[in-house]
Amino acid sequence: MTDGAPFFRLDWVVDNLDMLAQRTGEHVVLTLIGVGFGILIAFPVTLLIHRRRRLIGPVLGVAGILYAIPSLALFGLLIPVTGIGLVTAEIALVSYTLLILIRNGLAGLDGVAPEIVEAATGMGHTRIQRLWRVQLPLAVPVIIAGLRIATVTTIGLVAVTALIGQGGLGFVIITIGINRFFPTAILVGVGLSILLAVLADRGLVLAERALTPWARAGSGEG
């Protein structure tokens, strides 16, 4: 940024709408991959430790360690093995979702009242039927609460992957904004990241309402 230059340049934004749209799309894709693979890993692990309680401590311990590693340090550990690129970025992003998803999934399943499970058993439901028809539906609010946190967190972390050639809006924030001392790019990149986080969070709230119609009926919502 040079002396006398405006702090925010709307003309730059208008001239770079295509690039901003492209980087926003990349940001969304990186987030979806990270959260998607996080769910694919966390879901079976959650079911396993819910059934085999002795595994809760070790699993949450490992997930907690992964969550606590700073992103740059994790990149440093991964790059010699997986190189600089998408795989390294996604391994890091997935790692940061696991603790949140597993912990909330377990809390949701544990929060189902035992008498409800016993009633389902008395009605002749098998273990699988109890899980899919009773326990998971009742655990949805807590599970989606964790998914909301994991998604918003991942949207923020995606920007850091610009340091290894990914990043989506992180490219705008870091490469164009910080490295070139250009405040407009920083503001636009951060603003779009926040907008994505808000939209994702609201979308998951709507998904929760659609999946739990009995909750709306119980609260008197139309």
Residue 4's pLDDT is what? Answer: 59
Give mean pLDDT, residues 112-131: 88
Query: How would residue 15 be classed by pLDDT, with cut points 50, 70 and 90?
Result: very high
- Output DSSP code: residue 27: H
Amino acid symbol at 95: S
Q: Which long-range contacts (CB under 8 A, 24 or more apart) does 189-194 make?
A: 189/23, 189/159, 192/20, 192/24, 192/27, 193/27, 193/155, 193/156, 193/159, 193/169
Q: Which segment of 4-8, 54-58, 121-125, 150-154 scores lowest on mean pLDDT?
A: 4-8
* pTM score over 0.85: yes
pLDDT for the residue numbered 221: 58
CATH 1.10.3430.10 describes domain 10-212: no
Q: What is the mean pLDDT of the chain?
A: 91
Is the pLDDT confidence value at 51 over 90? yes
Query: Tokens at residue 87, please?
Result: 């795989």
CA distance 112 to 137: 10
Predicted pLDDT of residue 39: 97
**Angle between the N-to-C axes of helices 136-158 and 17-51, in degrees from 0 to 180, rounded to the nearest 10:** 140
CA distance 25 to 23: 5
Show me where the domains of the chain are located: 10-212
| pLDDT level of residue 3 (50, 70, 90 thresholds) | low
Q: What is the pLDDT of residues 80-108, one digit of tens each?
A: 999 998 999 999 999 999 999 999 999 99
The secondary element (H helix, E strand) that includes residue 72 is helix 71-82
